[in-house]
Chains A and B, each alone.
Chain A
Amino acid sequence: MARAVSNRRKTIATIVAWLVALIIFFPILYTVLTSLKTEPEAIQGFSLVPSFTLESYVTVHTQRDYFKPFMNSVVLSLGSTLLALLVAVPAAWSMAFSPTRRTKDILLWMLSTKMMPAVAVLVPIYLIFRDFGLLDTRIGLTIMLTLINLPIVVWMLYTYFREIPGEILEAARMDGASLWGEIVYVLTPMAVPGIASTMLLNIILAWNEAFWTIRLTTTNAAPLTAFITSFSSPQGLFWAKLSAASTLAIAPILIMGWFSQKQLVRGLTFGAVK
């Protein structure tokens, strides 16, 4: 009896979980389906059955260069991630292993910068970028993306490093490891999974960042987010083409996310359950 009830419960829970997943995934699915429709089909109204034409993809490809924004996205997300790690690893390290009374406050303060709406600092940032000649440059945008994601990167790494028991480092010290030996043989192998998942998450965040990448670029440094928006304005609304551009923009990161999902989930739930 109890087993029958728990089985039924399990079935219901599974159905609910699938429904929730479908609702969350639906916009992406509908974008892909729309990209496979003709323009008149796309405007006609809600339909889940496209005519499976690649017409929009061909048009998008001929009208605009996909490769340049794609490369910009790659450079910006990888560049900003590496730069962020370069700053965040030592920062998180010292906060995790030699915390002071102010460590918690600093962490909270860093996170609080994420609570501010980006638009509030749009004008000053724009003016700074203009005056320093950083508008529409890869270097400018890389710095921007590094700065906006830095608090999250520091937080994630901090929680990771905190999980490395201090006693293991002390054991290494007792065992005669020099500081270098400690870093190479003990710390790094233990920290690599944490750094890897932080890196993956930051690449995704940087890839999808749309507010600054659209506002601070025109053509030279424009990544895929700007590529998508370029299909929405001048010629009116072309849903199929817009969807095709969106699909092209999210496909690389979706594929990367799919292959690294195990690492990502582990990274995001690290420390929560032991």
Chain B
Amino acid sequence: MGRIVLKNVNKSFGTTQVIPGIDLTIEDGEFVVFVGPSGCGKSTLLRLIAGLEDTTGGTIEIDGKDVTSAAPARRGLAMVFQSYALYPHMSVKNNIAFPLKMAKVSPEVIDRKVTEAARVLNLTDYLERRPGQLSGGQRQRVAIGRAIVREPSAFLFDEPLSNLDAALRGTMRLEISELHQSLKTTMVYVTHDQVEAMTMANKIVVLNAGNIEQVGSPLDLYNRPDNLFVAGFIGSPRMNFVKGGAAEPFGAHTVGIRPEHIRLSKESGRWKGTVGVAEHLGSDTFLHVNAGEIGILTVRASGDFTGSHGDTVFLDPEDSRIHRFDAAGKAIR
């Protein structure tokens, strides 16, 4: 089990209110990602769930039990930290065994569980090493191992991959997703990287300035963003926004078009522009097109696009994929 319910949870540090009041339900077995820019309160929210910070108001329930003022260890959760937070003076084996030792589990059971966790995480050959002798990816796996052996009702991840290089991040992302598939335990994951959020989550919670902007599945947020903030945050490259006169024909204050939803032509189209920078990624080419009054638009073209700086091109947004927003930034549906 691992159903987490937040009811009007709020947090202030001194006079600064970081989280004004959040209501959120995380269902058992879900992979929920908190995503948002730096300082949006996503890590604070996770730490409130963990019990590492005290709430200023509101209640936190785990599996129907009010744990708002319970100590971290009594909440049945396990946490993986950004800095891994391994005990540097202990071997990998002792690091993984630590929570079991604290729970006074018998040595035979500890041994069995540590061996099993090490096998799952490919750490069997490193059990006698110290954290300092491991690579970043291995350290992160030890941290995950330490969380697994506790058999928690939910895992909390605080930006666990941000200290790793890009290639390793991709691998670890897969490993964590596979772990979720096999354990089927609730996972709450904090990141500022929307690619991580899109690829791993069942449910994404987009946060901004301590408020929830939108909750939904990755494709929900991609296809039906509630507001300008979510529209701009989800999707890579970022959605283009067109304001003023050019947006009026669409009956909106602002219209949003994703780079992949603009058709490119060298002959004709609704908007005319000149190619600025062309980023060739092999599979795709991202063009930054200066469309005069409309502004600079990012457009996705095929990988074999041959145009270059200064070429004139025509752009046609796909009508069915246009997002319309009112003056307050809310989506018009």
Contact = CB atoms under 8 A, between A and B. Distances in A.
Query: Closest 7 interchain pairs by CB?
Result: A171-B85, A175-B99, A176-B73, A176-B102, A167-B85, A189-B89, A174-B79
Contacts of A174: 50, 52, 72-73, 77-79, 99
Nearest to A168: B85
11 contacts: A167-B82, A168-B85, A168-B87, A170-B52, A171-B86, A172-B98, A174-B52, A176-B73, A176-B150, A185-B98, A186-B87
A190 interface: yes
Interface string A161-179: 0000101101111111110
Contacts of B150: 175-176
Given A174-B50, A175-B150, A167 B102 contact: no
A175 B146 contact: yes
B88 interface: yes
A175 B50 CA distance: 11
A271 interface: no
A173 B75 CA distance: 11
Nearest to B149: A175
A181 interface: yes
Contacts of B52: 170, 173-174
Contacts of A165: 83, 85
A176 B71 CA distance: 9
B325 to A, nearest CB: 40
Given A181-B102, A189-B89, A175 B81 contact: no
Interface of A: 165, 167-168, 170-178, 181, 185-186, 189-190
Contact of A171 (B71, B81, B89): B81
Nearest to B83: A167
Contacts of A176: 73, 99, 102-103, 150
Contacts of A189: 89
A79 B333 CA distance: 78
Contacts of A177: 73, 98, 102
Nearest to B71: A173
Interface string B135-164: 000000000001000100000000000000
A2 B13 CA distance: 57
B89 A190 contact: yes
Given A173-B52, A189-B89, 18 more contacts: A167-B82, A168-B88, A170-B72, A170-B79, A171-B87, A171-B146, A172-B98, A173-B71, A173-B73, A174-B50, A174-B78, A174-B99, A175-B98, A177-B98, A178-B102, A181-B102, A186-B87, A190-B88
A210 to B, nearest CB: 39
Contacts of B146: 171, 175
Contacts of B81: 167, 170-171
Contacts of A185: 87, 98
Given A167-B83, A186-B87, A190-B88, A175 B77 contact: no
A222 B73 CA distance: 55
Contacts of A173: 52, 71-73
Contacts of B50: 174
Nearest to A171: B85
Contacts of B103: 176
Interface string B44-76: 000000101000000000000000000111000
